[in-house]
């Protein structure tokens, strides 16, 4: 949920910190006949908080976009322009609708866990039921059940009185000036969105089974652009995120082992020994035969 959650938080702060912006949002909501609701904060520790924030966003998305357009055009606000550029994309709108379908199931399960007297027999039933509901949404693909938010995605995007009034395109279809270019069809956008979600799901499964690594997430295959996220994962758990570079990730991973004087894992022993004794020159007077040979070859080539 990375950048998606971050932009929701930025949006919440944008309206919360400005009475004028909040008034513009309220006026847009009333004009469009929508709920006059605030942009709620997304809290990582509470599924219910996330569900309420997404529910409000889904119901008031056209009002939010209208408010950002007014702030951009009349007040020339660069923050509003940046938020609009991210929100007025197919991937963001589809993500909102997807989360609107998913989060109520997770919130219901979360409430069961939060009860003072937890009944484990209920949990034994509720957990598989929740997983089955989430799996059904994933497997439905192009045939989402009637009444679900995803089933209303394309009709809402085509509604001129709602989201259809805005230039909702794929994020790659905007040039540097934010102008619309010739884009993909709705079916092509949906297929690409599903592909992106499947790739993320596969990546998460791979990370969950990873013993130790520096991971890098990119928006595309370009090595020139700054990665979307760099972090460290140990035994399937993200222990550090939002690192500035891969080099910083390697250094921090080394420190996680070296600082508490932990023994290097068997599969990474020589890699970390090379980092420690050749690159960082820490206790470099004691090297294994392999690292000593590597060090000699490096100095010879110099």
Sheet containing 212-217, strands listed edge to edge, beginning at the edge strand earlier in sequence:
212-217, 229-234, 237-240
Position 175 scores a pLDDT of 42
The SS3 assignment for 233 reads: strand
Residue 3 has what pLDDT?
Answer: 64
Query: What residues contact 129, with CB distance under 8 A and at least 6 apart?
Result: none
Helix (H, G, I), strand (E, B), or coil: what is residue 222? coil
What's the CA gap between 164 and 64, in Å, rounded? 14
The residue ranges of every structural domain in the chain are 2-204, 266-301
- Residues of the chain predicted below pLDDT 50: 1, 172-181
pLDDT of residue 151: 92
Q: Per-residue pLDDT tens for 141-190?
A: 888 888 899 999 999 988 888 888 887 765 544 443 344 445 677 788 88
Dihedral pair phi/psi, residue 281, rounded to 5°: 55, 45
Each residue of 85-97: pLDDT tens digit?
Answer: 888 888 889 989 9
Give residue 228's region: left, alpha or beta (phi > 0; psi -120 to 50): alpha
pTM over 0.85: no
């Amino acid at each position: 949920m990375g950048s998606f959650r971050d932009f929701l938080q930025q949006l919440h702060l944008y309206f919360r910190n400005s009475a004028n912006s909040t008034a513009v949002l309220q006026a847009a909501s009333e004009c469009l006949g929508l709920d006059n609701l605030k942009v709620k904060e997304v809290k990582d520790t509470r599924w219910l908080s996330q569900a309420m924030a997404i529910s409000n966003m889904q119901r008031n998305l056209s009002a939010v976009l209208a408010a950002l357009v007014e702030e951009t055009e009349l007040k020339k606000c660069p923050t509003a322009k940046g938020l609009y550029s991210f929100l007025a994309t197919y991937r963001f709108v589809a993500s909102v609708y997807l989360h609107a379908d998913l989060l109520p199931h997770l919130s219901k399960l979360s409430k069961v866990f939060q009860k003072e007297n937890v009944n484990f027999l209920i949990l034994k039933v509720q957990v598989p039921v929740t997983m089955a509901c989430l799996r059904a949404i994933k497997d439905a693909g192009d045939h989402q059940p009637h009444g679900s938010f995803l089933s209303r995605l394309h009709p809402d995007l085509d509604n001129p009185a709602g989201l259809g009034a805005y230039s909702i395109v794929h994020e790659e279809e905007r040039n540097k000036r934010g102008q619309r270019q010739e884009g993909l069809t709705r079916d092509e956008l949906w297929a690409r969105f599903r592909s992106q979600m499947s790739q993320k799901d596969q990546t998460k499964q791979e990370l969950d089974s990873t013993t130790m690594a520096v991971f890098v997430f990119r928006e595309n295959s370009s090595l020139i652009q700054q990665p979307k996220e760099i972090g460290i994962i140990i035994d399937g758990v993200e222990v550090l995120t939002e690192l500035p570079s891969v080099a910083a990730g390697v250094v921090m991973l080394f420190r996680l082992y070296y600082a508490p004087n932990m023994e290097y894992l068997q599969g990474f022993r020589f890699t970390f020994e090379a980092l420690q004794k050749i690159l960082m020159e820490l206790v470099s007077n004691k090297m294994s035969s392999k690292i000593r040979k590597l060090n000699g070859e490096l100095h010879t080539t110099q």
